[in-house]
Amino acid sequence: MSFGGVAASVVTAAIIPMVLGIGVDGGVHMLASWRRHDGDLGAVFAETGLAIVVTITTSIAAFGAFIVAKSPSLLQFGAQAAGALFGCLLVTLLILPIILRHRKSAEAGEEQ
């Protein structure tokens, strides 16, 4: 947050555990689906991709609604929470599959 010029406050401190609690869920579901489908990324996205997008997007919309608040603290809270959840969505859909594929190929290389 300091790189973005966001000052630490009670409001920003409350965002961290909340976003981790919400954001981790998508990754857990992605990993569980990955294991069920033995690393078939197409099947993983077919089973859980839309659900992850919908659940995190509704949370982004809910916290994004605070952006129209007159209170600067609520506005800051809503904008930062929505931005952090969007980051969680990107990590879950883009970075996590790359890590899982890399891990799978590394495990396949060890077996040979």
pLDDT tens digits for 37-64?
998 999 999 999 999 999 999 999 999 9
Domain boundaries in the chain? 10-103
User: Residue range 67-92: average pLDDT?
Assistant: 90
Q: How far apart are the first and last CA of the chain?
A: 44
User: Residue range 75-92: average pLDDT?
Assistant: 91
Over residues 11-42, the pLDDT tens digits come to: 778 888 888 888 889 999 999 999 999 989 99
| Secondary structure element (H or E) that encloses residue 109, with its range | helix 96-111
How open is the CA angle 17-95-39, to the nearest 5 degrees? 110
Q: What is the pTM of this model?
A: 0.84
Give the three-class secondary structure for 75.
helix
User: Residue range 89-110: average pLDDT?
Assistant: 89
